[in-house]
Structure 1
Amino acid sequence: MTDLPTTSPAFDLIIRGGTVIDGTRAPRFQADVGITDGRIAVIGPLDNRTAAREIDATGRIVAPGFIDSHTHDDSAVLVDPGMTCKVSQGVTSVVTGNCGVSIAPLKPGSPRPMPLGLLSPGGGQVAEFASFADYVAALRAAPAAVNVAPMVGHTSLRASVVSDLGRAATDSEIGAMRSHVQEALDAGAIGVSTGTFYPPAEAAPTAEIIEVCRPLTGSGGVYATHMRNEADQVTQSLEESFAIGKALDVQVVISHHKVVGPANFGRTKETLPLISKAMSCQCVALDCYPYNASSTMLHTDPAKLQVKVVVAASGPHPEVAG
């Protein structure tokens, strides 16, 4: 908290009387916030200061922009750079490329099996970026209203490189994917994500994932995963995720942690202690969403259809929506 000298000029904006939560893990505190040239100039008592514009934040929280840590906004930030859907909720940064699905690199003409359809939520044409550097260049050429922290997706790599998605990758295919990962990290990717829950990647054994992700070691990047199983085999999937993180010596993020299906409800009593134990000897984190349903592709595997399924939308069969 800083006091401003009385000789200081007026601010462009003062947010008065709010409760500040500053993101440093410090306790919340009451303060005014003075902003000049789009940047926070001072946090403290500004009773005697003036501004071109003032906002009364009494009874409200004043906080930095929120980070949406799990998104599929890879295309949205290009198609709708205003990102009203996010900034209207206070989100100022998005992490893209989750669940193994990234807009780059995608070999032109390569197959787009689900869940790669997430790259085109409106069903329109998806831009193709053969390299991650090309995608980053597109982001910089037309900056979105949010910061973008992109990951490279293992499923996208498989779709671009592996000739038969129903099998494990060959050594040469692993080498090609590994080269793409290195190129992506060099271009600015913050890590690699996997989605072994989905058919295009479920045939990938643990060894394939480790070898493809080798460039992560020593890079400071993260390994984020939509695990192989979030239902009956959830603990085994957690152990696989931890093992990959240990083999690569990288940070692990368990995406949207949950346990699926009525038979597994309450099993977070097993999974959360397991995650806490892993945290004591390696860097592990998780994200979760605050609602009791998930949104994903329509599986044909009976084991994945044991809970209520609602069709939100279908291009070929719009009549089944709902």
Structure 2
Amino acid sequence: MVDLLFANGTVIDGTGMAGYRGSVAVTGDTVQVMTGDVSAVDAGRVINASGYVICPGFIDMHSHSDLKLLTEPAHEAKIRQGVTTEALGMDGLSYAPTTPRGLEQLLVYLAAVNGEAPDVRWSSVADFLALFEGNSACNVLHFVPHAAIRVAAMGWSSRLPTDAELNAMRDLTRQGMRDGAFGFTTGGRTAIPTNWPPSPRWPPRRAVSTAPTLATPWATACWTHSARRWKSAGVPARRCISPTTTARWPAWASR
């Protein structure tokens, strides 16, 4: 017996194969694709999927739902489009890990992008991820954001970090990865506050010399909204990505 049967739909299984007629059975945490006649399958519930597509949930790899998933955990705007996993911390703009003071500042500063703050507070990646467990309709991947660690280490100054401040950012990144982060992100000019005010004069050439050094052997590094600004600053993109390729760490640039 199966718990749930989606019967006689068009199955797109995510492998790249063309869609085909089939059914999908769910038993506990197990999903099984069935072809052919399923009328004899003993199912606790049957949903007629004729005329519909049955496919795995979509992964939104560049979202700004960091707070919306906490204030509106049903997240129907995405769930109804088939999105079941979201990547958080994009553009280097998110909230963990940081300090209590840095969190309050970031919640105000990023409200126009990520929405209003929930009633709860956190500092570490572990505490932040725990808020989604069992509460959010979507799964999440969290990336350590450059904004949060920079604000925690040196506030909102547009200058280069000192060695001590850079080491503090590295320590926060390492701990964030140990706590369950998927990677590390920057955005815009790869500085804080990236290409957004209040520090629009951050020199791009200096920025790219700093941000890549924060990635760790455990991190997938993600540079977002960056290619055009690298070019306008006269900085080859390969210079930004080379620290990760040299160390054989995964990296990607997201627009």
SS at match of 2:158: coil
* One-letter code aligned to 2:254: S
Q: How far apart are the structure 1 equivalents of 2:4 and 2:89?
A: 35
Q: Which residue of 2 aligns with 1:175?
A: 167
- Give the drift of 1:248: 4.1
Q: How far apart are the structure 2 equivalents of 1:164 and 1:103?
A: 15
Q: Which residue of 1 aligns with 2:13?
A: 22
* One-letter code aligned to 1:121: G
1:201 to 194, 197, 215: 194
* One-letter code aligned to 2:223: T
1:271-301 CA distance string (max 9 Å, x none): xxxxxxxxxxxxxxxxxxxxxxxxxxxxxxx
SS at match of 1:209: helix
SS at match of 1:49: coil
Alpha carbons 2:6, 2:24 under 8 Å: kept: yes
Q: Percent identity?
A: 26
Q: Structure 1 residues 113, 207: closer, same or farther in 2, change over 3 A?
A: farther
Whether 2:56 is the aligned partner of 1:64: answer: yes
Alpha carbons 2:86, 2:138 under 8 Å: kept: yes
Q: Which residue of 2 aligns with 1:95?
A: 87
Alpha carbons 1:103, 1:128 under 8 Å: kept: no
2:111 to 100, 111, 117: 117
Q: Which residue of 1 aligns with 2:74?
A: 82
Q: How far apart are the structure 2 equivalents of 1:208 and 1:126?
A: 34
- Give the drift of 1:83: 1.5
- Give the drift of 1:115: 6.2
Q: Tell me whether 74-83 or 51-60 shows the greater mean CA deviation.
A: 51-60
2:4 to 6, 10, 13: 13
Structure 1 alignment gaps of length 5 or more = 1-8, 257-322
* One-letter code aligned to 1:193: T
Between Structure 1 and Structure 2, the one with more strand by share is: 2
- Give the drift of 1:84: 1.5
1:224-262 CA distance string (max 9 Å, x none): 112445268268463344324324422222112xxxxxx
**TM-score, with length taken from structure 1:** 0.66
Q: Which residue of 1 aligns with 2:130?
A: 137
By relative contact order (CA 8 Å, sep 6+), the higher-ranking structure is 2
Q: How far apart are the structure 1 equivalents of 2:156 and 2:112?
A: 21
Q: How far apart are the structure 1 equivalents of 2:30 and 2:162?
A: 51
Q: Structure 1 residues 120, 91: closer, same or farther in 2, change over 3 A?
A: closer
Q: How far apart are the structure 2 equivalents of 1:31 and 1:148?
A: 29
**TM-score, with length taken from structure 2:** 0.81
Question: Aligned-pair RMSD on alpha carbons?
Answer: 2.7
* One-letter code aligned to 2:211: I
Alpha carbons 2:64, 2:114 under 8 Å: kept: no
Alpha carbons 2:10, 2:51 under 8 Å: kept: yes
1:212 to 211, 214, 218: 214
- Give the drift of 1:133: 1.9
* One-letter code aligned to 1:246: T
1:160-171 equivalent positions in 2, closer than 5 A: 160-171=152-163
Whether 2:43 is the aligned partner of 1:44: answer: no
Q: How far apart are the structure 2 equivalents of 1:33 and 1:161?
A: 50
Alpha carbons 2:84, 2:138 under 8 Å: kept: yes
Q: Which residue of 2 aligns with 1:264?
A: none
Alpha carbons 1:101, 1:115 under 8 Å: kept: no
* One-letter code aligned to 1:84: E
Q: Which residue of 2 aligns with 1:192?
A: 184
Q: Which residue of 1 aligns with 2:250?
A: 251
Q: How far apart are the structure 2 equivalents of 1:126 and 1:241?
A: 38
Structure 2 alignment gaps of length 5 or more = 196-201
SS at match of 1:103: coil
